Amino acid sequence: MVRFKFTREQDEFREEVRTFLDDTLTSDFWVHHRQHRLPGWSPEFSQATADRGWLATSWPVEYGGLGLGAIEQSIYMEEMAYAGAPQEHHRRAVQQVGPSIMLFGTPEQKSDYLPKIASGDISFAMGLSEPNAGSDLANVETQAVRDGDDYIIRRLHH
């Protein structure tokens, strides 16, 4: 039988996140949020987590992250989910755009965008839409094919 146990530091991190959520997601916060924000969307909450360095928990330090591991990232995300935290303002920037820039961005893009995402200074929206796909990329029916300096959009055959 395999028994999994968190380290003392991981348990302390979980408790720190829980305390932050208890202190931040108060009844006053939720009343204001319901009156002034879209469900799940709170730039103020995103900034509060960024101020703790938590938006980019597992990102490398050179990109503005804490450089923690996948376990700490999972603890953070798990506690956010348990609390119903409004993460939509920053979620795409942190989980999709930032890692894409880390992998494929130029050095200039990395130095410009990644610290700003990690600090909560910028967020991203993604416009992914096709008539039969919407934001479901598994159903995308077109692709861009490079043709010299241009891209030609063509329909895929499924």
- pLDDT tens per residue across span 122-142: 998 877 777 777 777 778 888
Output the pTM of the full model. 0.78
Instruction: Please calculate the CA angle 24-26-27 and round it to the nearest 5 degrees.
Output: 160
Q: Burial code of 110-124, b = ≥16 C-beta within 10 A, e = fewer?
A: beebbbebbebeebb
Q: Which two tokens stand for residue 4?
A: 């999994």
CATH 1.10.540.10 in the chain is located at: 8-118
Specify the pLDDT at position 22. 97
Q: Which CATH superfamily is domain 8-118 in?
A: Acyl-CoA dehydrogenase/oxidase, N-terminal domain (1.10.540.10)
Q: What percent of the chain has pLDDT over 70?
A: 99
